[in-house]
Amino acid sequence: MTVYRAEIRGVIAGQGFINVLHFRSANGTSSQVAQLAALVGSNWVDYVRGEQFAQAEYKQVKVKTLDQPSWPEIELPVILNGTAASTANYSPVMCIVLKKKSSLAGRHGRGRVYLAGCGGSDMVHGNWANQRFNRLIDLCAAMTQFWCAPSNTLPFWMVLHNYNGPPQDSINVEVIQPRLMIGFQRRRNLGVGY
């Protein structure tokens, strides 16, 4: 079993952002590092950017293994912008929160992904408007089907990884769901970069 760490890097409002996802493969090989980088670029970034404004610019997908240090680390350039209608009302600190849930109860059985570059007319009293939230539900259903479902034919499964624990203790993600409430990312040194 091999556990991979995928860093998705981009820029919004002059500051870098990084989303980290973890994946497991039962029979990992060194060639799968590049395969996973391409899949994350085409089947994660390309999906979620449809919910982000054009000001969110994706730059790179970086994949490495956590338990095989001699395997290569892949840095795949991904030059993609958000494709949701651009607006001056977007906020670089407001974000969509996607919840990753496993079958394990408690704080070690869940995770989050923050997608920056949202806001504007999609909000109603601190929550997402119904139409926007329904699109997020559809997005999460597609992501769950692709990365987490038992019918997944990929050699990879999305997992939750405890940074202090060994890779073998990673837990399978069972479902990805949107959070109704708008999220906020604390942005220090806005405009400084990574």
Dump pLDDT digits (tens) for 115-149: 887 877 778 887 888 888 888 899 899 888 888 87
Work out how many domains the chain is built from and give that number. 1
> Domain range holding 40?
2-184
Q: Is residue 128 part of a domain?
A: yes
Q: Please provide residue 88's backbone torsions phi and psi, each rounded to the nearest 5 degrees.
A: -75, -10
Q: Is residue 78 part of a domain?
A: yes
pTM: 0.88
Q: Is residue 6 part of a domain?
A: yes
How far is it, in rounded angstroms, from Cα 125 to Cα 141? Answer: 25
Residue 194 scores a pLDDT above 50: no
